Amino acid sequence: LSKSFQNAIVIASTVVNEDWIELFFLLDALRDAKNVILCVPYIGYSRQDVQNQNESFGSGLFSRFLETMNVSRCIFLDNHSKPTIRIPYIHLGADEIFKTDITSKYDASKITIVSPDIGGAYRANAISKTLKCDFALCNKAKDVFGELKKIDVVGNVVDKICIVVDDIIDSGATLCYAAEALLQAGCRGVAAYATHGILSKGSIEKLAKSSISEVTLTDSIFNNDIISSKIRKLSISSLIAETIRCIL
């Protein structure tokens, strides 16, 4: 790489450990670039975001690693928690993409936007207000061992199509439990939108057998193994491209 090279743009989701190692090698190769913009749509270990004594703090650990590299600015998408990195960053959201798609597919008077837990309530409620439709919350109750015991539905879902909005789908268990609770509460059907589809082993089969009619994800994570008529993807390319254009 020529030392006169001005701008380098790196786009890489970090799902597994090998993704991180590959990214670090690539950033090291770009150490002479004057301006490196790093876009990480999905940050691996972002859910390990609580710092307890004698426990690894994965989210902060990889932020510290990136701070040692030649990175000028970062771009993140719907990170599970607020990034702790000290490099200047832009935190994007997929909400506008979701709202446009939901508007094109559903009548606002016939849907309810649902948060699968309390943590996602603010986001789901904001989407419902923009779309001028109802909002509901799935309140999870766990036993003493931390296992999911039941889900209580709070909000108007009777005779509505419930659209569950979340940031990540991993095993799909919580989403499937929420769908059953919503149907038992009287809704007409359940669809789901999530920014990141990790879709760990067994999740695709679980979603395929569930009562969920459709799962919409963004393409923040490349997964060539998805073979299901229920799963569709929306592109985030224009969102990232416009953000990079603004930076440059």
* Catalytic residue annotation: 140
Instruction: Please work out, in degrees rounded to the nearest 5, the angle formed at the alpha carbon of residue 31 by the alpha carbons of 27 and 37.
Output: 55
Helix (H, G, I), strand (E, B) or coil at 40: strand
Strands 7-11 and 89-92: unpaired
CB under 8 Å to 139, separation ≥6 — which residues?
117, 118, 151, 152, 153, 154
Q: Sign of torsion, CA 106 109 110 111?
A: positive
CB 231 within 8 A of CB 248: no
Q: If residue 233 lies in a helix (H) or strand (E), which one and from where to where? A: strand 231-234
The phi and psi torsions of 112 (rounded to 5 degrees) equal -130, 125
- For residue 103, give both structure tokens: 């508007």
